[in-house]
Amino acid sequence: MSPWSRFALFTAVLALAACSDSDNTFVEVEPLAPLGTAVSLDSGPIEGQASTRATAWEYLGIPFAAPPVGELRWRAPQPPAAWSETRSATALADFCPQFLYFTNEFAGDEDCLYLNVFRPQTQERDLPVFVWIHGGGNNNGDTGQETPAYDGARLAERGNMVVVTVQYRLGALGWLYHPSLAGENALDASGNYGTLDLVRALEWIQGNAEVFGGDPGNVTIAGESAGGANVLSLVISDEATGLYHKGIIQSLGGSVSSTARALDAANALIDDLYAFAGIPDMALSDEELAEFLRDTDVLTLLSLANTPEIIGDGTVLPTAGYDLIDSGDFPGKVPLLFGTNRDEYKLYTNVLGFNEYPDGPEELRLAVGTYLSQAWRVTGADDLARRLRSNDDMPELYVYRFNWGSTDEDGNSPLPGNFGDTGGAFHSAEIPFMMGNEDTFIFADFTPIFFSEANAASRTSMADIMVSYWSSFARTGDPNGNSLPIWEPWSNTDGGSKAVTLDVSFADNSPRVEPDTTVLTEAEVYAGANANLEGEILAETLRRLDGWFGRQ
């Protein structure tokens, strides 16, 4: 057969394959556009750029929802308006309004529902999609404007994934429950506007992942601290069902509030706003109150609002909140990877951190930092794993302890001075490594202090460990499949596998990934404090533990 005959036969087969069995209509299949900086979204064309940090393309400041301003403040997010002219996607959008602790100022723009996409500079398609949800107590955070360690380009390249970093409404703009704000549907009345922003972002990913070479059928949601709580909230929410397929929860922080408690907080805010505006204490109709709230300056609103909590409203999130895990009656039965850092709470007691005891002795800082870090491990890892694993239909769970920076058994730490003891593997310390940004300390201004040539090899090794495990999990639901030690899933059986420690050997900078078969309980944390502390330091530590475990 001649080449032309083979070509004619080949095209005939393609034509037949494109015909409908019912009406023999020819269906023309449009070829996929080459991957690059130009992308056509369902809302319009954008032009990204090559990253300067990795061999990756980046598409920054993409709107996934309409600006939540004016009448859309405290409404469920709406799709963005379409555009026809190519939109530049080469700069991060403004972050959501918030108080910046380290500069002691309010900043941000209410028009903040934007996300960023990063992918390797290849033509490979059907890549896993990794969605990063920042932490910050649901009061703070961004996608890289203030926290360069959140840049997703290196994770995209090194993990061979499509990485999405997303913003969501914060503070009282993100979580406020009051009858006056109820709209035309139950979602508007839920109070969980920040949660709904994340659901909307996942819907956007389902509609647009393929144009970036991502697989909408393989989406992993990942977050740290309050971001981890938001991941767990999506796991128990019917609204997010089918929009993701795996979850990663780092240093879980946060809880689900009752509607009664959320309403009390909203009423307290309203009273403060009345007083601030000089309005007499009088009853407004729901319509008048809603107009008053939506007209209130965002700076005034956030300066008076209390710390928000995710709300068990019964529509977006079940009233049982995270207690639903115990019943097993939650929709997000997906593989999960989660864990905590060895010295979580020392970020808050350290003088270079949030310095909760500015006039307290170092012994008090160390005691509170140590035992609240253990308490964090109980609630964010061991107890959570035990509860999830008790459900027979739960897929595999992989639990970690992040130890890099802590002083090891020989008294060594890769961090300078005595920071291995006073700070160590503190809350959020793992983020630069799992993002592949091991050259950027989580608080960027401190990078020259803590990241030096002396610990460069150790940092690279730690990043290789985390990027490898995290990307393997995003790809298959199993962190294994690389040259690193096997990470066994959590088992509730006595003597069964539990967690792994993630660290680097101080001697030669090689991976130090080891099984940890211990399980820490609330009772053991209290017992340790009572056995090792005394006097006022013991009393203060027990008071803080009572607050952590909800005994007050």
Residue span of the structural domain in which 301 resides: 31-334
Asked if the model's pLDDT at residue 1 lies above 50, the reply is no
For the chain, what percent of residues have pLDDT higher than 70?
94
Q: What's residue 273's pLDDT? A: 92
Q: What's residue 420's pLDDT? A: 97
Asked if the model's pLDDT at residue 408 lies above 70, the reply is yes
How confident is the model over 340-391, as pLDDT tens digits? Answer: 999 999 999 999 999 999 999 999 999 999 999 999 999 999 999 999 999 9
Report DSSP letters for 212-232, one per residue. Answer: GTEEEEEEEEEEETHHHHHHH
Select from 290, 319, 334 the last residue of a domain: 334
Both 146 and 65 in a single domain?
yes
Asked if the model's pLDDT at residue 2 lies above 50, the reply is no
How confident is the model over 454-502, as pLDDT tens digits? Answer: 999 999 999 999 999 999 999 999 999 989 999 999 999 999 999 999 9
Q: Is residue 437 part of a domain?
A: yes
Q: What's residue 283's pLDDT? A: 73
Q: What's residue 28's pLDDT? A: 62
Q: Is residue 317 part of a domain?
A: yes
Average the pLDDT over 59-73 and give the result.
97
Q: What's residue 278's pLDDT? A: 85
Both 444 and 374 in a single domain?
yes
Both 107 and 206 in a single domain?
yes
Asked if the model's pLDDT at residue 13 lies above 80, the reply is no
Q: Is residue 175 part of a domain?
A: yes
Helices (H), 97-217: 153-159, 171-174, 193-208
Both 262 and 403 in a single domain?
no
Both 168 and 119 in a single domain?
yes
Both 308 and 379 in a single domain?
no
Both 233 and 175 in a single domain?
yes
Task: Kindly report the CATH number assigned to the domain that includes residue 50.
Answer: 3.40.50.1820
Q: Is residue 494 part of a domain?
A: yes
How confident is the model over 304-343, as pLDDT tens digits? Answer: 887 778 999 999 999 999 999 999 999 999 999 999 999 9
Which run of H or of E encompasses 287?
helix 286-295
Both 282 and 223 in a single domain?
yes
Asked if the model's pLDDT at residue 22 lies above 90, the reply is no
Both 211 and 270 in a single domain?
yes
Asked if the model's pLDDT at residue 160 lies above 80, the reply is yes
Q: What's residue 103's pLDDT? A: 87
β-strand partners of 99: 106
Closest among 82, 81, 77, 79 to 96, alpha carbons compared: 77
Q: What's residue 104's pLDDT? A: 87
Q: Is residue 468 part of a domain?
A: no
> Which comes out higher in pLDDT, residue 7 or 441?
441
How confident is the model over 101-151, as pLDDT tens digits? Answer: 888 899 999 999 999 999 999 999 999 999 999 999 999 999 999 999 999
Q: What's residue 102's pLDDT? A: 81
Instruction: Output DSSP code: residue 88.
Output: E
Helix (DSSP H) and strand (DSSP E) numbers for the chain: 18, 18
224-256 exposure pattern, b = at least 16 Cβ within 10 A, e = fewer: bbbbbbbbbbbbbbebbeebbbbbbbbbbbbeb
Q: What's residue 305's pLDDT? A: 85
Q: What's residue 33's pLDDT? A: 83
How confident is the model over 168-195, as pLDDT tens digits? Answer: 999 999 999 999 999 888 999 999 999 9
Task: Please state, in angstroms and rounded to a whole number, the distance separating the CA atoms of residues 96 and 63.
Answer: 13
Q: Are the C-beta atoms of residues 468 and 484 closer than 8 Å to each other? A: yes
Q: Is residue 507 part of a domain?
A: yes
Both 126 and 198 in a single domain?
yes
Which of the four pLDDT bands, split at 50, 70 and 90, describes residue 15?
A: very low
Q: What's residue 25's pLDDT? A: 57
Both 446 and 301 in a single domain?
no
Task: Please state, in angstroms and rounded to a whole number, the distance separating the CA atoms of residues 116 and 167.
Answer: 9
Instruction: Output DSSP code: residue 372.
Output: H
Question: What's the whole-model pTM score?
Answer: 0.94
Domain count, the chain: 2
Q: What's residue 49's pLDDT? A: 98
Asked if the model's pLDDT at residue 6 lies above 60, the reply is no
Residues 6+ apart with CB under 8 A from 33: 40, 211
Distances (CA, A) of 362 to 414, 417, 427, 527, 543: 21, 15, 19, 22, 18
How confident is the model over 276-309, as pLDDT tens digits? Answer: 888 876 678 899 999 999 999 998 998 888 777 8
How confident is the model over 205-247, as pLDDT tens digits? Answer: 999 999 999 999 999 999 999 999 999 999 999 999 999 999 9
Q: Is residue 470 part of a domain?
A: no
Q: Is residue 6 part of a domain?
A: no
Q: Are the C-beta atoms of residues 423 and 350 closer than 8 Å to each other? A: yes
Task: Please state, in angstroms and rounded to a whole number, the distance separating the CA atoms of residues 228 and 212.
Answer: 25
User: Which residue reads 């939109």 in tokens?
Assistant: 87
Both 330 and 370 in a single domain?
no
Mean pLDDT of all residues belonging to the chain: 93
